[in-house]
Amino acid sequence: MTANILAAAAALITFGFVFFLLRRGALREKYAVLWLFFSGAALFFAVFPGAIIWLSRILGVAQPVNLLFFVTVVLLVLVSVQLSYELSRHEMRIRRLAEEVALLRDEISEIRRDRDGN
Amino acid sequence: MPSNKTLIAIPAWNEAGSIAKVVASVKEHRPDADILVVNDGSTDSTAQEAQESGARVVSLPFNVGVGGAMRTAFLYAQREGYQALVQVDADGQHDPADLDRLIEGLKESDIVVGTRFHPESMYFVGGPRRWAMVLLSKALSWMNKGTISDPTSGFRSAGPKAIELFAIEYPADYLGDTVGSLSIAIRQGLVVHEAPVTMYFRQVGRPSKNALWSALYLGRATLAILVTGLKSNRTPREDAS
């Protein structure tokens, strides 16, 4: 029973922290929603541990805890891949912006030269 | 704007020791061409040296790698309407005497790669690095249905079609600026030829040459070939501005 309280507390803290970040505008909704959903699900299974046992019986997993670990690992891997994807996209965009900045700076200095020179 | 002019693009990252010499010797061999130095976030006096030696200098706000520097050069060439662009390294390894051959070759092709491997060449590499280069060369020659003996050469020229393409997409990953860009061009149906060039030893700095580095190079080269070979032809949304 204490283990359930611990799990529920951890889920609640996560939920609260993400909610706090979201309110402060430090986290965008598309990421926050994901974490809110995860911590919500964790809270649900902490309060109703019977649900996990029932689920693992349906899926044929002998140890309910293994189902929990398996699902958790899969979800975390998916999130990491998504973050890598977003990061790559941002690197590409930043590179494009850097190139544009370089060319614009050159154009501006040329315009200045023409204006001041003649 | 110059419609028939050639742009000599020199990507430079902290090459203050050699850039002025390179610009001067390019100028001497091709007084008719415009020279653009793409200063890739140098922390030394590269930009100033290049400017004083008479090149046009475009400065990136931070280091983005050769791929990004070259795409900047291709963007510039495309917007200014240049019909040919030749890439020359800033460290003085390339002999500007070969410029004519690379520019002439564009009459029959879209890209001419200067190869350092030919009977009169003094250039030599050994060990795992050599294997990697042979592997890359074999793979690209097969894709190209024509020999590309030195796909990692940074001494190369591009015609109008290649300028259009590379202004939109030019890879920034390791080996992407050399091998990757060729692979993209071949898959877009561009004609790639090669021409023999002379390779000088580096004037400043020294090439990395230990076993671990070579092994790493081999691994990354294999990865580069696999990635560019399997890459979908669609340009990424964020890249096609």
- For each of chain B's 241 residues, which pLDDT tens digit applies? 445 789 999 999 999 999 999 999 999 999 999 999 999 999 999 999 999 999 999 999 999 999 999 999 999 999 999 999 999 999 988 999 999 999 999 999 999 999 988 877 777 777 777 888 888 899 889 989 999 999 889 999 999 999 999 999 898 887 888 888 998 899 899 999 999 998 876 544 445 556 777 778 778 877 877 777 777 665 544 444 4
B238 assigned to some structural domain? no
- B160-183 residue pLDDT tens: 999 999 999 898 887 888 888 998
Q: Contacts by B95-100 with C-beta closer than 8 Å and gap 24+?
A: B95/B197, B95/B198, B95/B199, B95/B200, B96/B22, B96/B25, B96/B26, B96/B28, B96/B29, B96/B30, B97/B29, B97/B198, B98/B155, B98/B195, B98/B196, B98/B197, B98/B198, B99/B8, B99/B26, B99/B29, B99/B30, B99/B33, B100/B29, B100/B30
Compute the nearest-CA separation of A36 from chain B (Å).
29
Task: Using alpha carbons, list the distances in angstroms from residue A25 to A20, A28, A37.
Answer: 9, 7, 18
Instruction: Give the pLDDT confidence of A74-103 residue by residue, as tens digits.
Output: 999 999 999 999 999 999 999 999 999 999
User: Is B237 domain-assigned?
Assistant: no
Asked if the structure places residue B235 within a domain, the reply is no
Asked if residue B71 belongs to a domain, the reply is yes
Q: How many domains does chain B have?
A: 1
Size of interface A-B (CB pairs under 8 A): 43
Which of B59, B172, B239 lies closest to A102 in CB terms? Answer: B59
- The CATH number of the domain holding residue B127 is 3.90.550.10
Is A113 an interface residue toward B (CB < 8 Å)? no
CB-closest option in A93, A95, A106 to B172: A95
Which residues in chain A have Cβ-Cβ distances shorter than 8 Å to B59? 102, 105-106
Does residue B108 lie within any of the structural domains?
Answer: yes
Domain-located, residue B35: yes
Inside any domain, residue B136: yes
Is B33 domain-assigned?
yes
Query: Are A92 and B239 inside 8 Å of each other by CB?
Result: yes
* A86 → chain B, closest CA residue: B238
Q: List the structure tokens of B44.
A: 């030394």
Indicate the pTM of the whole model. 0.83
The most distant pair of C-alpha atoms in chain B lies apart, rounded to whole Å, by: 49
Domain that holds residue B181: 6-230
User: Which residues of chain B make contact with A106, given a CB cutoff of 8 A?
Assistant: 56-59, 76
